[in-house]
Amino acid sequence: MSFSRIRMRRLRRKENIRRLVQSVDLNKGDLLYPVFVKEGIEEKVEIETMAGQYHHTLETLEKIIRECEDLGIPGVIVFGVPEKKDKAGSEAFNAKGIVQKAVGRVRGLSDLAVFTDVCLCQYTSHGHCGVLDKRGINNDETLKILKKVAVSHAEAGSDFVAPSGMMDGQVSAIREGLDEKGFENVGIMSYAAKFSSNFYGPFRAAAESAPHPPPDAPRLKDRSTYQMDFKTDEQAMREIGLDIEEGADILMVKPALPYLDMIAKADRRFEVPISAYQVSGEYASLKQAGEKDLLDGEGALLESLTSIKRAGSNFIITYAALDAARWLSGD
């Protein structure tokens, strides 16, 4: 059968019919909100590269947590911006570090799901996600540190640690570290399929984590020796498969909108929950285009989040979480 017996527009003729045939529903329960907590500031400060997002103090973080609860957002992922950096990123596992303190605060206050990003780039003086030696990033030395970082987050009360450094073996190292210390109920959300992307620019300005390598190591100018090349395809599935074997509970694809094919493939192939990270560059571009009236910012953000859900992600990490939750409630 074809036209004129079939007329697709019958399904679109009025709003209530369209509502009935809709099959993708973005919910507030699909949103995880990234928050930045910065050491050494007195008041929250708006992040220049990410309109509407802030560097929080421990006090303003509390307000955000209340807001998430009121809006029905199930959780946050916490990023720390420390005052001190060194070659080994050792501030990342300081029990009194900014993330550890922030998690402690949230724990005492709320039952939200608390995720913490486990990586060294905000904490190393060179901005890389691993420690360096003469030959480049020392993968296995980095694992020892990541293990300590994850345990320190678990001790502070994190529900899920989220390794984002793309080091080989990071999930099994962290799982081992957590289990050894009796944190068998703390989960791992692995940034498994993380591409070396141009879309992280605004985050790196916000987290003060852009790589700035020694001049004699031009190979270290970016993260391409550890994050995935976006001109590959099946590698992402191998990364996800390996992280499942290593014990990850939730697998992430990142960025989201330019990588919908990866989300869809992962969702079809694996039975574990898949999350997707709508990263800073995705958020900032839509937000700015909306603010400049080049497009309807609210509509475009909700559309992109819905597409990311439609591709097959169980939930979405997004800087637009608070706004989206408000829009979805009709406020």
Residue numbers annotated as active site: 194, 254
**Which residues, 163 to 182, sit near ligand PBG by CB under 6 A?**
164-165
**Contact by Cβ (8 Å): 43, 57:** yes
Nearer to ligand PBG, 105 or 204 (CB): 204
Cβ–Cβ contacts within 10 Å for residue 81, how many? 21
* Nearest residue to 105 (alpha-carbon basis) of 80, 84, 124, 82: 80
**By CB under 6 A, which span of 145-153, 201-209, 256-264, 303-311 interacts with ligand PBG?**
201-209
Give the C-alpha separation, 253 to 78, whole Å.
Answer: 18
CA distance 289 to 106: 33
Q: Sketch the per residue contact string, 114 through 133, with ligand PBG: x for CB under 6 A, - otherwise.
A: ---x-x-x-------x----
What residue number has its CB nearest to ligand PBG? 203
**Angle formed at CA 263 by CA 128 and CA 142, multiple of 5 degrees:** 20
In angstroms, rounded to a whole number, what is the distance separating the alpha carbons of residues 80 and 96? 12
The residue among 69 and 208 lying less far from ligand PBG, judged by its C-beta, is: 208
Those residues whose C-beta lies under 8 Å from the C-beta of residue 324, and which sit 6 or more positions away, are: 26, 28, 31, 301, 302, 305, 318
**Residues for the chain: how many in total?**
331
Among 147, 153, 204, 287, binds ligand PBG (CB under 6 A): 204
Binding segment toward ligand PBG, per CB under 6 A, in 102-110, 182-190, 202-210, 294-302: 202-210
Residue 117 Cβ, how far from ligand PBG at the closest point, in Å? 5
Tell me how far, at minimum, the Cβ of 8 lies from ligand PBG, in Å.
38
Stretch that binds ligand PBG, among 167-175, 197-205, 301-309, 320-328 (CB under 6 A): 197-205
Q: Which stretches of the chain bind ligand PBG, using CB under 6 A? A: 117, 119, 121, 129, 164-165, 200, 203-204, 209, 279-280
